[in-house]
Structure 1
């Protein structure tokens, strides 16, 4: 059961402009976002990363490049893979619009309170349910591939977008999509999920500066309960 590190891209030019970028091409990290990504690369330096998978959008590719620029404990990072299923939600006719205008739209209230019913307008619009399904399918497939190739103690990274990470975390927590807006995911934050045969374990959420030593693979395995079970009364920690 590998550990998945969900990384949101660093702050982008669209974030600072208050624009819903979606799949708009040419949206890059701003200066602060590049600094965030570089700092995260340094933070993750002690972790052996078995794989990196990224959304195809520039802000995620640039964040991934910053992570791979820092060698791991065993040498250079693996070549990142690109998976469109980790791309941003397709916001349809909302794409490229300012958030201050979107808050006046009737659909905005549904996005906040009943997102499982929302399909964004226009021929390119996607439902939030479809976005969650494709993203969860992607991370589970990559997780199984990493487990087979690198073992159940492997650590790997998926670099993606805020709404995508919130949807994946909601699924891992067993929370209905209608409650996913209660989850915060900041730029260049780190969330960690470990999938098992019977349930996921959410290990960390929206971490923007914590010590990553607890995410290191164990040097030896000594489990008193099955890996699929939670420790009753709480565990000892790392």
Structure 2
């Protein structure tokens, strides 16, 4: 069994604001091109299934993979959803940088929480519970199209890292991170493979 954690391709305002769960954030022309190159790469993996977060940008990325791999439409799974950033959702980063709670979130993710939203522990718990359910069900080769912080939470869980390690590795748009079940749980087989 192999699980491919795929970050969605870029939307047009990536880095400009905290998209989070803002409705209507879709892939632009550059992101669609990234998704197509990613899909060509994922054809090599002989996927059996594709799942996606409910956000438009993840579904669009996952649909590109499904078309290329000759698979049905991706299943939308709430456990793969973006972090619920609560009151921060949709704010630009200049505004967020002036907020002491935002600075704490980025410096101390192990103890910080988003306002009226989730902690990294919440994100990790829901995502890993879903992955363990897939393993138990024996899903052979599945791509999970999700978000950078969700993948970081999973990787921290697999490696036993503190959430404060989140900034020590990157999860680029349209990248692939691979995990696999082993007798001791889950093993990281590859991190942040960028194909565009």
Task: Indicate whether 1:168 and 2:154 are aligned.
Answer: yes
* Paired residues of 1:9 and 1:187 also in contact (CA < 8 A): yes
Q: Which runs of 4+ in 1 moved over 6 A?
A: none
| 1:18-167 correspondence runs (5 A) | 18-71=16-69, 76-122=70-116, 125-145=117-137, 147=138, 154-167=140-153
* Paired residues of 2:12 and 2:30 also in contact (CA < 8 A): no
1:5 is aligned to 4
Ranges in structure 1 where 5+ consecutive residues have no aligned partner:
211-238
* Paired residues of 1:60 and 1:159 also in contact (CA < 8 A): yes
CA RMSD for the aligned pairs? 1.6
Deviation at residue 111 of structure 1 after TM alignment = 1.6
Q: Distance in 2 between matches of 1:41 and 1:143?
A: 23
Q: Distance in 1 between matches of 2:187 and 2:168?
A: 18
Greater share of residues in helix: 2
Ranges in structure 2 where 5+ consecutive residues have no aligned partner:
none
Greater share of residues in strand: 2
TM-score (norm 1): 0.78
Q: Which has the larger radius of gyration?
A: 1
Deviation at residue 60 of structure 1 after TM alignment = 0.2
Q: Distance in 2 between matches of 1:104 and 1:167?
A: 25
